Structure 1
Amino acid sequence: MTNTHDDFETGLERKSARDTLTQLLGPEVIASLHRRSDAWGWFGIAGCWATIALALFMSELAIDAFTWWSLPLLIVSITLIGGRILGLAILSHEGSHRSLFETQKFNDSVCNWLCAAPIFLDIAKYRRHHALHHVHTGTELDVDLPLCDGFPTSPASMMRKFLRDISGITGIKSLIGLGMMNAGILKWNVAGTVEKLPSNGQSRADYLWTFVKESRRTLIFHSIFFLTMYFSNLTELFFIWWAGYLFAYPLCIRVRSIAEHAMTERSGNMLKNTRTTKAGIIGRALFAPFNVNFHIEHHALVSVPYWQLPKLHRLLREKQAIPTPPTYWQVIRLAASNK
């Protein structure tokens, strides 16, 4: 646990890094980078859902054909859905920073219903949790530390983590945890930390009512989704979505989390406690939707919209303020390099 002096030092490091950015880029450039766009917000959401629809269509082709290429196509489709579910999580993350749409109320409403609700998130809850991550990044008080701590590990340990992800063990545990958090049994977080809340004499009926109230958007969304698929004679696609959520999405989250903060410097300097990663086509599809791989840039200027991050990256690279980013494969090899 850090003490007051440590917090003060961390604050000085963070302020120094931001002052350096202001000197490098200038206040006018920084102001222009913070410009929001409703068009880009809708483009992100529409593109994400269009890709999910395409993957579901591919799944239906595979199921109907029932031939030698059905299983490989189904695996590709489920994996792609997992990557786009991460895309919805990243858009929810954008919404938590109020950077997806120009108007805050509109930003929160759209993000809640079209991005967060389908994947069991809530913008207000996530915003409170995520703010603590940004305040304490690189310190023992970072609420997301469990996502990236313990690396490098051994190749065998990394393989076990990946096997838990693709077997559905991680996804099922996460889903149960989210349900218990929404019921008020556990403290809400997205880092997998289990912290039981005091019961205060609540009955099972009280917990059930709290769950329904806190999960209402998710329950409404998936009820409509299921009924739409059922009456369209496409019920199997509802379960294909959940296969993507349970078997592919956890792996995408793990790789993304390792790349962003694992094995970085423990300091308050966001230029050193965070990593930007180079993403190719597969990386962008699965681990880095909506430019989340430009993570130093995001931590340096947290309210810059996703579509502005590549420009910020180019500017910082021109000023030699950040290093050449590694690829996801290079980061994973490093994370599994402890013999």
Structure 2
Amino acid sequence: MQTLKVALVGAGMAGQAHAFGYRNASMADDLRDVAIELDTVADVSEALAEDVRLRYGFKRATADISQIAANPEIDVISVALPNHAHRAVLEVLLRSGKHVLTEKPLGVGVEDAEYLTNLSLQYPGIRSVGFSYRRIPALAQMAQIVREGRLGDIWHFESSYYADHAASAADRFTWRFDRATAGGGALSDLGAHAVDAIAFVISPIDEVLSAQFKTSITERTDRSGQQHEVTNDDFASALVRTECGAAGSLLTSRVAYGQPNRLSLSVYGSKGSAHFDTQHYNDLKVFEAGGNAATTGPSHVVMGPANPHYSDVSSFRSRGVNTGYGEAFIAEIQDFIRAVVGRKELDTTFDNALHAMRVIESMYAFDTKTALQN
């Protein structure tokens, strides 16, 4: 058995999703000989860190993040912090030479992302960014279908990420609504996943043709009752083109009532089309042209052990039993561990996060130009 000792920096919802992933990583057959020990959870709120320690089985909890970088026994570190905290914390952890998996984005803008990406190359260790949606079996299967050429040349696409967690004006002001601490709004928080899904399934975006933004709720009150201006976007839309020449749309919103959390991607090519959305995690619609016009139509493909990642994360390895959001985090952690022990090359590196950040900043720059013209 090979043993990896894990530390978690950030004990909020995203951090707990990472803890869930590590606890279940050995579900994969090829990782049964890797023992995962949950060693330390760190958070500025020591009470929260202690709560996560108890519930997920970490050995210790601390509010002192520096203990993790200095501990020679810790092998891998997961980071799930507010955007503005990424640069300072990651700089210390990267210099330690330990293996690091961090949530996106890499800071609050391109400057942070470029700095951290360059720094990651100067020290040993595997560096990964948490684009967990790539590990959803149906989306991974869609990417495989496109790479195999079954849809022909990709002509155009539609992508969106809608959520309604900020749709009420009564929702409290937090760092997410401040451009200085969050960077972008809905586009940076949610749209980054759509940008990465496009890069993963089709090809990276290399041109932003247009972009527009709207802040629907312009002021919010924090927990102390103080009023704050919202300085980033509730909604964003853009027209983009990818490296392979496919043109498409990207829309994202955090104020879309009735859409609690929905990523969707439709791809149209010279030989067919495919559609995926997270309201139907285990379904993929595929249409391949050329059949009998009287009877042909989109195939409704239900995920199972034949599809990517499914057998590694399913609690019951049978088609139609279904996987979901949590299982995508398990698969993300599994791929990270495979890279750490030298069994697989990662496809979600800091470079991927830097690409997403550059695309997002290009969208914001386009909108700035439009505003100046007006």
TM-score, structure 1 normalization: 0.28
* Structure possessing the higher relative contact order (Cα contacts under 8 Å, 6 or more residues apart): 1
- Structure having the larger proportion of residues in helix: 1
TM-score, structure 2 normalization: 0.26
- Structure having the larger proportion of residues in strand: 2
